[in-house]
Each structure stands twice: as C-alpha cells, then as structure tokens.
Amino acid sequence: AESFKYQGNKGSGGELHQKASEKHPTMTTAQGCPVSDNQNSLTAAKRGPGLLEDHVLREKLFHFDHERIPERVVHARGYGAHGYFETYESLSQLTCADLFQRKGEKTPVFARFSTVAGNKGSPDLARDVRGFAVKFYTQEGNWDLVGNNIPVFFIQDAMKFPDLIHSAKAAPDRGFPQAQTAHDNFWDFISLTPESMHMVMWAMSDRAIPRSLRFMEGFGVHTFKFINAEGEENYVKFHWKPKQGMQSVVWNEALKLNGADPDYHRRDMWESIAKGDYPEWELGVQVFSQEFADQFEFDVLDATKLIPEEQVPVQIVGRMVLNRAVDNFFAETEQVAFCTQNIVPGLDFTSDPLLQGRNFSYLDTQTKRLGGPNFTHIPVNAPKCPMAHFHQDGHMAMHNPKGRINYEPNSWQEHEHNPRECPTTGYKSASEHTDGDKLRYRSETFADHYSQARQFYLSQTAIEQAHIHYALVFELSKVEHLAIRGRVVSHLLNIDTTLANEVADGLRLQTMPEPAQAAMPTRDDLPTSDALSILKN
C-alpha cells in the first residue's frame, strides 16, 4: 500500500506532477534530454496554439504513433516463456548436435505457444491448432523446432499454404469470421483438398481445445535427419510430452471461457511460472533408418502422415522446463523470430515439400515484420554462442564488423575480426542422391488421404469420437452452402461410415452423398465449374 501512496506535487494548474527524487530518476527524451514537464505541451500563450518547436511533445507522439508492428501473418496470438532444455543421455551415436552430446547438459530455450488463425487479440480457447515453437540457444547456434500440437498438417506442399490460410482467416469482403467458428471458405477449401482429412480429424478432436498450454503435446511434424560424427544418417521425428499430462476442455466450456476470460491460457502460463509450478515437457525422438522408410506404408516426406508409435517407439531424450516469464512481452514474445531453417550441425532437413517451403517463408516474413535483415540483433533472437560473419549494414545494424575486413578470402593474417570457414566443425548437409526431370510433381506415394484419418478416429474412445461428431456438426452447420456440407460428408464416408452417418444426421442432410473418389484426385476429379455453380454468391 505504501508504494501506491501519492508522492507528487500539484502543478500550477492544479494537475498532478510527480517529481524526480532519490527513488525516481529524472525522465529524459529518447535523446537523453531531461524533461521538466510531462503534462503540458508548449503553447504560444496560456490558451494559445501549440508550438512546432515542442520537441518533447513531438518525440512523445512520434514514438507512440509507431508502436505497432505487423502481427504475424499466422500464429499472431501467442505466449512465450524462457527456460532450459536438459539432455538425459548423450545421443552422440545418432547425432553430433552439440546440445545432445553430454548427459545433464542444460541449454537455454525460449518457447512460444500460439493459435494459428486468430488475430493478436483473439480468444485463447478457439478451436484451432496450437503452435509449439522452441528456440534452443545451443553452443553451435540457434536451433528452432517450430512445431504444432498436432503431429500432421493439412497440406502436403507449401504451394497450398497461402490458400489454406486465406480460407481459414476472415473472408475478404466481410472481415469475419476467424477460427472460432467455421465458415464456408474454410470448409470449401478443405472439401476440395482431400489430403487435409487426417488433420481435420485431429482438429475436430479435443486436441484443438486444450485445457491450457501446459497440458498439450508438441510435434516437429516433418521428418528431419540426424547425422553423427561419422556422417551416418537416420531419420528423426520430434515429440514433446507434457509432464502435466494431456487435458482438454469440452466445447461448451471453451465457449464460456472465451467469453469470461479470453486470456485464460496465457494467464495460466503466467501464474504457474509465478508460483514456481514450472511447466515441463519431455522431448522424445522417433529414429528410423532408410530401410524402415522404404518399407513404411506411407511416404515419410508426407507431412499429412505420422509414424505410429507402435511401429517406432518414442525414445525420451531430455526435458524442457519453463521457469522464467518474459520481462517484456513485446521485446521477447512479440519480437521472437522462429524459423525452420535455423538448424545446427548434426541435424538436417528432408525433401518434405512443405518443409522446403517453410524454410523460405519464415525468414521472408520476419524481414518485413521486424523491419529489415538485422532482427538477429534483438536479444531474444541473438545466439548465445560466439558469432563471426561479414554481414553488415541494413536497417538497425548494431553489430557491424570491426576494423577494415568485411570480405573473405583476404590477405590479412592477423586481425581482431577475420573469421574463416572450418571444414571439420562447420555445418554439413546430409548426402542425398537425386535424379530426375525438373517438373511440378506430386508423388504417387503421397496418395492415400484416408487410412491414417481412419486410424486416428478409431483410436479414440467412444466419448472422444462423440466429440468429433459434435464438432463436425457444429462447425459444418455454420456453412451456408449445403453442397459444401455434403462434400465434406463424402470424404467422411471414406474414413468411417458411422462417423459420416452421425454427421449427416446431425446436419439433417437430405441425401447421403457418394463417397469421395478415394484415389489421389487429378485436376479432372475436382468438381467441375458446373457443379460449383451452386456455390455462386
């Protein structure tokens, strides 16, 4: 109570003036000029016009006017925290990644959890996929594991991502709705994109309304590669398992929470860290060889498929503890820039066509969102290991090379700043043989869109299956164009007839559609413009 006691004085006009003192340093402008009056602007007379000369007022308004930066084009709403990752046992036989070499090694991390479709001010309990992004500040650079709380994705190729997101976000004419309730554009796109069916099952399940960020799993989704010091390669999938267990709310709880406390998830994270109940996840890996990949019934490069844990068990390799809230939400949570291309020696990408596109997209969008190429200078994005390169200049350059050398090779032997490449410890990509014609391909090994959707649906308990029925009926009943509802049900028929019947009944469909053509659709299989004409307006 003492700290709230009013300590200021009254100004000549009777308004409150809180003055600098031993406890309160003198306020300055951003240029360091001490401020004498933070309440009254400079005017030509007591009741006269303001003066252009008032540098204090102009600077204050100018800075306020520029406070906003673009929100993320997806995953705009998120919440982050600091912590550490602890390696349980050395994984040196699988990877030379520095963070996995030593038992007990602790690597600092920053994690950000998010919803995908809503804007920055959207409610936490939207039915949506949750982002699960972790930046590991390793001794050999930052490794970003930019995952979701669902192990598969809606699409197989980055080419479709802008369309997927356009369809899920506000329609361009009316400016609503977002993911909170479904709408025609989203379900239209989904119904014309059979590869999305597996992810749709997860998104309609309880996984998409987690009780809090602490109670959800995380997945790297794509297949990556581990490379060890001998150059031996294995495939790897990453999993986060919450020590708190996995919990969800039910849909009517989600709706009430969204109204009563739209910040429910972030508040829960803040409070649990504040009271020392630190959220914790274990990191698991599924490691498998080329031989396994070759005999697996799906393509390991297809992000709409997972590797069942029964076939390749998840090996727990460490834990992440989040034990420190941010000092400043904007500086850290808003400015953090995760990117799938941030990788370290001992790890590599695969040719998953979704991942390949992501590797471009994050850096590209962050260059705009964070105002130029120097956002690695922002403390939350800066590596915590030594850095040495010749990047220079650009907006907000804060760490330009010291001295005369800013190129390589050069003839200067001794100099404070003169880094050179290192063939033994430097990053090396996994080897890969490729041979073929340059074309726009979709591999036939990406064709089966329903089997894993069915496996997921059948793996659910009766209550969980009922929640999927309700969710689909609720979401599709918001779709105004009946043909779209029918087209979604035609896909459900390929997943499970009970599911399709439940949803058709719930929607009061007049006629049951034919099952969608199960083979990979070609351009000719998609509804013709005649069939689509029903959707006009």
Where along the sequence are the contacts to ligand HEM (CB under 6 A)? 72-75, 78, 112, 114, 131, 133, 146-148, 153, 158, 161, 221, 303, 336-338, 354, 357-358, 361-362, 365-366, 369
User: Which is the catalytic residue, given 24, 63, 66, 75?
Assistant: 75
- Per the CB < 8 A criterion, the answer to whether 517 and 487 are in contact is no
358 annotated to bind ligand: yes
d(CA 25, CA 519): 71
Q: What kind and span of H or E run contains 475?
A: helix 462-476
Tokens of 285: 């890996």
404 annotated to bind ligand: no
Torsion of CA 208, 213, 215, 219, to 10 degrees: 70
C-beta of 137 vs 362, nearer to ligand HEM: 362
Query: What is the greatest pairwise CA distance in the chain?
Result: 85
Provide the minimum distance between the beta carbon of 421 and ligand HEM in the complex, in angstroms, as a whole number: 29
Compute the C-alpha angle 122/373/331, nearest 5°.
45
| Residue 148 designated active-site | yes
Provide the minimum distance between the beta carbon of 357 and ligand HEM in the complex, in angstroms, as a whole number: 4
Tokens of 83: 């912590």
Q: According to DSSP H, which parts of 181-241 are helical?
A: 184-191, 197-203
* Nearest residue to ligand HEM on Cβ basis: 131
C-beta of 148 vs 465, nearer to ligand HEM: 148
Provide the minimum distance between the beta carbon of 80 and ligand HEM in the complex, in angstroms, as a whole number: 7
362 annotated to bind ligand: yes
d(CA 269, CA 326): 11
d(CA 150, CA 52): 56
Sign of CA dihedral 159, 162, 165, 168: negative
C-beta of 369 vs 454, nearer to ligand HEM: 369
d(CA 51, CA 153): 57
Provide the minimum distance between the beta carbon of 73 and ligand HEM in the complex, in angstroms, as a whole number: 5
Compute the C-alpha angle 148/187/448, nearest 5°.
65
Tokens of 139: 């001794």
Provide the minimum distance between the beta carbon of 424 and ligand HEM in the complex, in angstroms, as a whole number: 32
Sign of CA dihedral 124, 110, 363, 306: negative
Provide the minimum distance between the beta carbon of 106 and ligand HEM in the complex, in angstroms, as a whole number: 22
C-beta of 99 vs 158, nearer to ligand HEM: 158
Provide the minimum distance between the beta carbon of 503 and ligand HEM in the complex, in angstroms, as a whole number: 26
Q: According to DSSP H, which parts of 66-179 are helical?
A: 161-168
d(CA 11, CA 487): 70
User: Which is the catalytic residue, given 82, 142, 148, 469?
Assistant: 148
Paired with 146 in beta bridges are: 133
How close are the terminal C-alpha atoms of the chain, in Å? 61
Q: What kind and span of H or E run contains 60?
A: helix 55-65
C-beta of 207 vs 469, nearer to ligand HEM: 207
| Residue 75 designated active-site | yes
Tokens of 529: 């413009």
C-beta of 304 vs 490, nearer to ligand HEM: 304
C-beta of 369 vs 377, nearer to ligand HEM: 369
Closest C-alpha to 358, from 73, 141, 136: 73
For the chain, what is the radius of gyration of the CA atoms? 27
Between β-strands 233-242 and 280-288, what pairing exists: parallel, antiparallel or unpaired? antiparallel
Provide the minimum distance between the beta carbon of 31 and ligand HEM in the complex, in angstroms, as a whole number: 31
- Per the CB < 8 A criterion, the answer to whether 107 and 137 are in contact is yes
215 annotated to bind ligand: no
72 annotated to bind ligand: yes
Provide the minimum distance between the beta carbon of 388 and ligand HEM in the complex, in angstroms, as a whole number: 26
- The amino acid that residue 82 corresponds to is H
d(CA 18, CA 30): 20
C-beta of 348 vs 496, nearer to ligand HEM: 348
d(CA 37, CA 18): 10
- The amino acid that residue 375 corresponds to is F
C-beta of 218 vs 486, nearer to ligand HEM: 218
Residues assigned a catalytic role: 75, 148
Annotated binding residues: 72, 112, 161, 358, 362, 369
Binding-site residue ranges for heme: 72, 112, 161, 358, 362, 369
